Amino acid sequence: MEQPCSRCPLIGDRICRLSRVKGRLISIRPALIRSLSAVALLLAGVLALCCGRYPLSPSRVVVVLGRLLHLWGGSDPIADAIVWQVRLPRALAGLLVGSALSCGGATFQAVLRNPLVSPDLLGVLSGSAFGAALVIVLGGSPALIQIGAFCGGLTAVSSGLSVSRLLPQGGLLTLLMGGLIANAVFTALLSLVKYTADPMDQLPAVVNWLLGTLSQTGWTELSWLTVPVLVLVMVLVLLAPLLDVLSLGDDEARSLGVSVQVMRPVVILLATLVCAMTISMAGIIGWVGLLVPHVARMLAGAEHRNMMPVCALLGAAGLILADTVARSLTSGEVPLGIMTELFGALAFVLVLRRLRGESV
């Protein structure tokens, strides 16, 4: 029921009604953007399964997938091996890592009220890097390296949060200082581990791990991490409306009945948990957590309820594409971390140009 805008002191009734019609049209947009992002993810998946040093046609990939699902019989051992053992696990890993880092990044940006923040601000990357490097130097198995990375990331962020609680007056600034201190300590510890590592075999292994890649991810890792990562991403997407409130000032959020002191650390820990899981799976993959939330915000608007699903879908699509390019570009393989750093930084210039243009 339209209410006449009799109380607007500035504008007439007709403009007010027109603005409501416009508002309704705008409200359809998020669903459209979400659908298009889902299509983009699907296309990226198909592309990832088809492209590579041994190209497969989409129809051949569909036949292989059907056979894997026991929908029909037949035999194509080469295509089966490529899709099942190499490309499908990598695409799934890309989906998990991309969506997790993007949603984690968007969450960090919202709760720290800074759109230029990425998940590493509170120390999750330096902590994970230290954990993984330590296990590599101690001669641990790949599974132990993953556990080391995961625990390192969580320890770094937890110690940052604890330090921030020790500082007087609380609030956002002390949180950032806590993160700064945790980052510094764990970066120093990583350097120490690198310094003591055997330069012949351990140091290259540490450096390789730090570059980030999906090539080591197989069905074993996926069987452990798929469910927890997807559940955490879903939780972050469901918490999206809370992010709108947490991104206001502390006093404003509390005056709306939201307990900032409790909710902020909880949300940070959830985002850290999901980022640490992906780092343990793929190593350090930069820029995704910073860039994708901006792209999602540009397409779907700033409201987290609308942008978080788009962020998850685009992050997944983007990382699958980046990984496909990384393994198809040369006869060897460019580590994915290098690809995302390079293209992420370049793409961010475009995003910043657009953002600056809007703010003028």
Site string for another protein, 203-242 (x = CB under 8 A): -----------------------------------xx-xx
Closer CB to another protein, residue 30 or residue 283?
Answer: 30
Q: Tell me the helix, strand and coil percentages in the chain, rounded to 5.
A: 80, 0, 20
Q: The tokens of 196 are what?
A: 């003591």
Residues numbered 153 to 192 that lie near another protein (CB under 8 A) are none
Closer CB to another protein, residue 204 or residue 241?
Answer: 241
Q: Does 328 bind another protein (CB under 8 A)?
A: no
- Among the listed residues 52, 115, 171, 228, the single contact to another protein using CB under 8 A: 115
Alpha carbon 225 to its chain centroid, in Å, reads: 15
Q: b vs e for 242-257, b when ≥16 Cβ sit within 10 Å of the residue's Cβ?
A: bbebbbbebeebeeee
Minimum Å gap between C-beta 82 and another protein is 43
Minimum Å gap between C-beta 124 and another protein is 22
- Among the listed residues 42, 71, 255, 353, the single contact to another protein using CB under 8 A: 255
- Among the listed residues 234, 254, 342, 351, the single contact to another protein using CB under 8 A: 254
Residues numbered 281 to 320 that lie near another protein (CB under 8 A) are 297, 301-303
| Residue from 352, 303, 313, 325 nearest 102 by CA | 313
Q: Does 75 bind another protein (CB under 8 A)?
A: no
The stretch near another protein (CB under 8 A) out of 17-25, 72-80, 212-220, 323-331 is 17-25
- Among the listed residues 22, 53, 165, 354, the single contact to another protein using CB under 8 A: 22
Q: Does 258 bind another protein (CB under 8 A)?
A: yes
C-alpha to C-alpha distance for 48 and 316, rounded to whole angstroms: 12
The stretch near another protein (CB under 8 A) out of 49-57, 141-149, 193-201, 246-254 is 246-254
Question: Do the Cβ atoms of 93 and 218 come closer than 8 Å?
Answer: no
Alpha carbon 176 to its chain centroid, in Å, reads: 20
CA distances from residue 161 to 154, 178, 189, 277 in whole angstroms, order as listed: 11, 6, 18, 19
| Residue from 347, 292, 298 nearest 106 by CA | 292
Question: Do the Cβ atoms of 121 and 179 come closer than 8 Å?
Answer: yes
Q: Which helix (H) or strand (E) holds 266?
A: helix 260-282
Closer CB to another protein, residue 65 or residue 298?
Answer: 298
* 52 three-class SS: coil
What residue type is assigned to position 96 of the chain?
L
- Among the listed residues 218, 244, 343, 351, the single contact to another protein using CB under 8 A: 244
Q: Does 245 bind another protein (CB under 8 A)?
A: yes
C-alpha to C-alpha distance for 239 and 107, rounded to whole angstroms: 9
Which residues form the interface with another protein (CB under 8 A)?
Answer: 3, 5-11, 15-16, 19-20, 22-23, 26, 110, 113-115, 238-239, 241-242, 244-245, 247-249, 251-252, 254-259, 297, 301-303, 358-359
